[in-house]
């Protein structure tokens, strides 16, 4: 079974965030909570809570997260039925 098929929203957001490499003076590093928060116009504490499945974001934040992670919103929405909180 494909592990993506059972991911919660938080697990998917975290996997995507960590797969985005950002160049810092010639060395690549995964995107941080703070960087994703800036790109999605929320606070880094919210990103951490979403990734821990302790917070279910509203649709407008899911939309901004999808844009910041460069994925279709449907890719995040399909996890909603599997999320622990909701």
Bridge partners, 21 (sequence order): 30
Find out whether 7 and 1 touch, Cβ atoms under 8 Å. Answer: no
Q: ∠ CA 78-7-39 to the nearest 5 degrees?
A: 70
Do you know the residue count of the chain? 86
CA distance 81 to 60: 17
Looking at the predicted structure, is the pLDDT value of residue 85 above 70?
no
The pLDDT tens digits of the residues spanning 32-69 come to 999 999 999 999 999 999 999 999 999 999 999 999 99
CA distance 53 to 36: 16
Give the per-residue pLDDT at 83: 58
Give the per-residue pLDDT at 70: 95
């Amino acid at each position: 079974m494909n592990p993506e098929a059972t991911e919660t929203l938080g697990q998917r957001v975290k996997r995507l965030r960590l797969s985005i490499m950002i160049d810092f003076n010639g060395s690549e590093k995964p995107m941080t909570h703070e960087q994703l928060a800036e790109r999605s116009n929320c606070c880094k504490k919210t990103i951490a809570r979403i990734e821990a499945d302790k917070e279910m974001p509203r649709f407008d934040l899911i939309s901004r997260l999808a844009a910041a992670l460069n994925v279709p919103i449907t890719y995040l929405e399909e996890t909603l039925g599997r999320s622990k909180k909701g």
